[in-house]
Amino acid sequence: MPEPSAFDRLRALLDGAAPPPGLAPIALHLGESRLALPHGVDLGPLADADGWTRYPPLGGTPELRAAYTGWLARRFGVTRALADGRVAVEPTAGTKHAVAAAVALAVARTGGAAPVVLPNPYYPTYRAATSSAGAEAVYYPADADVPAAVAKALADAGGHAAAVVLCDPANPGGTFLTPAELTAVAAHTAAAGALLIVDECYTDLSTGPLPPGFLSLVEHNEHSSFLVLHTLSKRSSMPGLRSGFAAGDPGTVAAFAAYNRACGVSMAGPVARVSAALWADEAHVARGRAALARAWDAADELLGGLPGYRRADAGFFLWLPVPDDAEAALALWREQALTVMPGRYLAAATGAGNPGAGHLRIALGHPEDTVRAALTRLATGLHGPTGRSTHVR
């Protein structure tokens, strides 16, 4: 029997509790961006009925694949590695399915005998995929020196692993790694004979310098056994499109493509056409980053005085310390009609405790007026109406 998901646990926590009358609920627990819709990009192909009556082309259309490689060249400077075949690409149905498939393939390659090394806290699919594949999860603290933490986790695993999963920028912490740190993680992973899976779904959601990304290293250096995942869910605020792609070394991408084309979900023609347009357009991404900056500016203004408050380097999650995350989440629902995610639901308990406990994950993904209204309620709920601290450290 699968263990309850973070969202199942949140529903159970709030079950039977009612929000105050007169306040419209605002969901801050989902990683769903509505900051800025991709205006200016033609979404008309989605209304093409003929396109929905045909089987999707395996491996995507030439236009879609060209959009991937064009974006990789603009965003990460990947040109020679694509031209000489050191990097290959394959469409995916977002990143959730891609993560699960990549973990399953990595575990199967080792006969199920090697563990999967995961960040802690984590995106829940990482742990669910590892469990479903029948592998043991070994954790490294996501807020530590990541290369050293990964090296220790691999040593704890006996020096061998099926895969190492890296979320860069991190969810929920919002930090990202330098090229030197990425290089060190890749070296530790290769030494353990593991597949490096890099989830970069938040890579374009920065209000300052953009994360360098793992593929920027591959342009100038040889790397093997890696898979980097990208998605339009966050970049273009289009999670319902279920559109992303994987980029990696040719052998890993070929194995992923063979599995996905036989057992996965191929991208419908109308989705491929819209996806190609979105990957080719930077104007809507710039508008999204501007909206994200305004959301964080509002958070700085309204919550900046809270103990432990930190503006994320990338992404739209506020990772806020509180004395008791479950108690605070329940109180915010009862008193302010806000749903936030207790951090303990996004992390595993280890010998050092649960690193998510005592934190709330709060998504700043709504349009500007809704974000400001939600943050105003949040400030009241955490401080109390008189400014007295009630649910903060």
Shared-domain flag, residues 258 and 304: no
Shared-domain flag, residues 160 and 238: yes
CA 118 to chain centre: 13
Provide DSSP, 48-76: -HHHHTSPPPTT--HHHHHHHHHHHHHHH
Helix (H) or strand (E) holding 380: helix 368-383
Q: What's the CA gap between 92 and 247, in Å, rounded?
A: 10
Shared-domain flag, residues 246 and 333: no
Read off the pLDDT of each residue in 171-191 and give the average, rounded to a whole number. Answer: 96
pLDDT tens digits, 228-280: 999 999 999 899 899 999 999 999 999 999 999 999 889 999 999 999 999 99
pLDDT tens digits, 10-43: 999 999 999 999 999 999 999 888 877 788 788 8
Shared-domain flag, residues 162 and 72: yes
Residue 247 contacts residue 76 (beta carbons within 8 Å):
no
Shared-domain flag, residues 209 and 307: no
Confidence (pTM): 0.94
Q: Is the pLDDT confidence value at 137 over 70?
A: yes
Burial classification of residue 378, based on how many CB atoms lie within 10 Å of its CB (0-12 exposed, 13-18 middle, 19 or more buried): buried
Q: Is the pLDDT confidence value at 390 over 70?
A: no
Range(s) of the domain holding residue 311:
6-37+284-383
Q: Is the pLDDT confidence value at 333 over 50?
A: yes
C-alpha distances in angstroms, 242 versus 205, 231, 267? Answer: 18, 8, 9
Shared-domain flag, residues 93 and 236: yes
C-alpha distances in angstroms, 245 versus 219, 222, 240? Answer: 18, 21, 15
Q: What's the CA gap between 385 and 247, in Å, rounded?
A: 50
Shared-domain flag, residues 314 and 223: no
Shared-domain flag, residues 190 and 266: yes
pLDDT tens digits, 45-71: 889 888 899 999 899 999 999 999 999
**CA 7, 271, 230, 264 torsion-angle sign:** positive
191 lies in some domain? yes
